[in-house]
Structure 1
Amino acid sequence: MNCTEKDVQLLQLAYYFISDCQYQFISLREAQDEIWLGNPKHPEYPVIRLSQTRLSTVFFDKTRILKIHQSIRNLFRRNCDLLDIHISDEAVQDQEEQIDLVTISPQTVSDPQLTAVFPGLDHAVQPIQDPQQEYNKITQKLAELQRQRAQSPQAKSPLAPPKATMILMGICLVIYLLSVVFSWMFRELGGSGEVSVSVAILLGGYYKAFVVGAHEYWRWLTSAFVHVDLWHLLMNMMALYNMGMLCEKLMGVRNYLIILFGSILFGSAFVFLGSGNVVAMGISGGLYGLLAAFLVYGIQTRILFQPQLRTQFLLILISLMPGVSLAAHFGGFVGGLLISVVLTRNDSWAQLRKNTMVALCVAVAFLGLKTVQPQARELDTIYPGTDRMVVEMLKDLHLDFYGDHLSKKMVETYVGSSL
């Protein structure tokens, strides 16, 4: 391979950013005569392009360059300009929109202020006497640097356990263990199925009678963490872990939790409006919201086309099991879809984001109005035996005040019911 002086200087510059500034190579199949580097934690320039071409090529190649930059900054969840450094001694006459053009040579850096951001940048590129010999040296140094990083503790576990997801899974596990204990404690109150249903309600499961009669709308959220069947718990936790591993890393904890909880509420609202006096539990509505969010993110950044991510993405589908609420799944998917589009940062999606925000507000208003209408609050069936069992459990747990409150509210509700 015949190497030029600029080939070596390009690698010298890359070595400086990787070794001194904690950047990493970004592999691009279509990149030629250029190197892309990324450091999502850098406050000013998380994305850098290094090139040995003349500045004039940027004008003709701007669309491609900005498309790549857009994809990377979406992945990093950062809104930033691209730092485009060229191995050249040309003077920078005009800057391009969204691109900070800089030239560098062994003698000069066209923007001296950049050395304040990257100390030592002015010495990163050195004159080359023997290009082939220097090329071999710099490639060996880069290979050694990459090897050291690959052996570091951080590199050995690139996908750290998703902390927020692990906490959510811990809550679900604790509630399941409580359900096992309570089912054993109250086993003499009735059959195993009746006791399990009553325990689920006791622990925060969705029960329309209590939502309507006692205004316990908090059950729309808490029901997601209630599982009284071991198989149901295992399937949902497996799906939650796989989606959490992806979504926490790609979307950030804040957006991940907003989408998850928003989807759970949407799913519960759909159950409230589309089902009768049922008991519902499980986090599958939130899982389908994450499914929709990952679809949106995958389309936006095109990472969905990576086989490894597609495999993890498909694992969420195992939560579609017989006996679980399809209304919660559909509602969660709709909620996750709307919320995730609103949370995107893709500039080309600005109009879509505005339209989706309007759609989200309309959907929330519509669901809210439908929820307070008398026909939506009617109970198709009542289960006084279940109510009495829950109240008895509460009194056995010395929560008489709550049990008396529920008894009073349900009597008032049933007296006014047409049933």
Structure 2
Amino acid sequence: MPAAAGGRLAAAGTAGAGMPPAGGGPQAGEFGHPGRRATDVLLVSNALLFGLQLLTKQALTVWGVKVNALVVAGQWWRLLTPAFLHGNLMHLAVNCYSLNNLGPPVEGAAGPPRFLLMYLSAAVAGNVASFLGAPKSVSLGASGAVFGIGGALAMYFYRNRDIYGKTSDRVLRQLWQTLVLNVVYGLSSTRIDNWGHMGGLVGGALAGLLLGPRFQATTLPGKRGKWLVDVAPLPWLRSQPRQISGR
């Protein structure tokens, strides 16, 4: 079955990039969120669904991949389900490796609900971009969603660069270098859905802008010292304040 498989470098070069060293800003888990609960759920889901793909002799794959004609015919789920299906074991392993690197920093700062919203938004955005830009491709894979988490991570460090300082510059530089490598690699193969990758990247960055944490250093009534307060648009998803000084 032809597939526009995900890039083999998909943000893998940013392992640990989101975890600043001591003194470099708040670290994942310091805002009252678990660091990787949703990430692990996604990793296990990808592995289990790949097993089902094999057990069903690819019937599940046929049911869920992105095929433009079937989307037009009303099978709209195909704008999401390709993100949970993979063409082969290497495809699965590379995407899971990349998600394992990028997921925990974003989830630790944003929390599982926002992380999942950003991941799913990026997955849909990637498949919509593929639908529009690569209408003849039959595509599947989590790469678009993983690119989106990379975009959300970049947005997080960019909008909080006054807090992270040089750590923000370092992470953004690493993410930019990884993006360039992925683009070069993607252009080298006709089997890679570059529209899906770029759509996921943009979708994840926009989701990070709308949903992701935006911290401000301020004081709180009745509490001593300075605190980092999340002023993201959706109050019920905000991270817990974190004290950064005692005076």
Alignment of 1:226-305 (within 5 A): 226-302=85-161, 303=164, 305=166
Name 1:205's counterpart in structure 2. Answer: 65
The equivalent residue for 2:224 is none
Residue deviations 1:234-286 (CA, integer Å, cap 9, x gap): 00000011111211112211211111111111111111111223311011111
- Work out whether 1:334 is the aligned partner of 2:184: no
In 2, Cα distance between the equivalents of 1:272 and 1:234?
A: 25
Question: Would the alpha carbon gap of residues 171 and 315 (structure 1) be closer, same or farther in structure 2, given more than 3 Å must change?
Answer: farther
**Unmatched 5+ residue regions in structure 1?**
1-25, 29-70, 79-158, 184-195, 355-419
CA gap of 1:74–1:167, structure 2 versus 1, over 3 A, is closer
Aligned pair in 2 of structure 1 residues 311, 217: CA closer, same or farther (>3 Å)? same
Counterpart amino acid of 1:345?
A: R
The equivalences for 1:332-411 within 5 A come to 332-343=200-211, 344-346=213-215
Aligned equivalents of 2:103, 2:214: Cα separation in 1:
20
Shift, 1:217, TM fit: 0.7
Match of 1:325 among 193, 205, 209: 193
Tell me if the contact between 1:74 and 1:301 (Cα under 8 Å) persists in the aligned partners: no
For the residues of structure 1 that align with 2:28 and 2:88, how far apart are their CA atoms?
Answer: 39
For the 8 Å contact 1:290–1:336, the answer to whether it is kept is yes
Aligned length: 188
User: 1:74/1:279 Cα in 2 relative to 1: closer, same or farther (>3 Å)?
Assistant: closer
Code of the aligned partner of 2:81: T
Which is bigger in relative contact order (C-alpha 8 A, separation at least 6)? 2
Alpha-carbon displacement from aligned partner over 1:79-117 (angstroms, at most 9, x marks no partner): xxxxxxxxxxxxxxxxxxxxxxxxxxxxxxxxxxxxxxx
Residue type at the aligned position of 1:324:
I
Go from structure 1 to structure 2 and tell me whether the alpha carbon gap of 1:326 and 1:74 turns closer, same or farther (over 3 Å shift).
same
> 1:179·1:228 contact (CA, 8 Å) conserved in 2?
no
Distance 1:163 1:315, change over 3 A: farther
Name the structure 2 match of 1:176.
50
- The answer to whether the 8 Å contact 2:133/2:195 transfers is yes
- Paired with 1:340 and 1:309, the residues of 2 have a C-alpha distance of 16
2:81 to 208, 217, 222: 222
Is contact 2:29-2:35 (8 Å) kept?
no
Distance change (3 Å), C-alpha of 1:161 and 1:299? closer
Write the distance in 2 (CA, Å) between the matches of 1:209 and 1:160. 41
Query: Does the residue aligned with 2:76 lie in a helix, a strand or coil?
Result: coil
* Aligned alpha-carbon RMSD (Å): 3.6
Distance in 2, Cα, partners of 1:239 & 1:257: 16
**Does structure 2 retain, via aligned residues, the 8 Å contact 1:227–1:281?**
yes
Alignment of 1:78-97 (within 5 A): none
Inter-CA distance 171–300: structure 2 relative to 1 (3 Å threshold): same
Once residues 138 and 128 of structure 2 are traced to their aligned partners in structure 1, the CA distance between those partners, rounded to angstroms, is 13
Q: If the length of structure 2 is used for normalisation, what is the TM-score?
A: 0.63
Which structure dedicates a bigger proportion of its chain to helix? 1
Instruction: Please say if residues 35 and 104 of structure 2, whose CA atoms lie closer than 8 Å, have aligned partners that are also in contact.
Output: yes
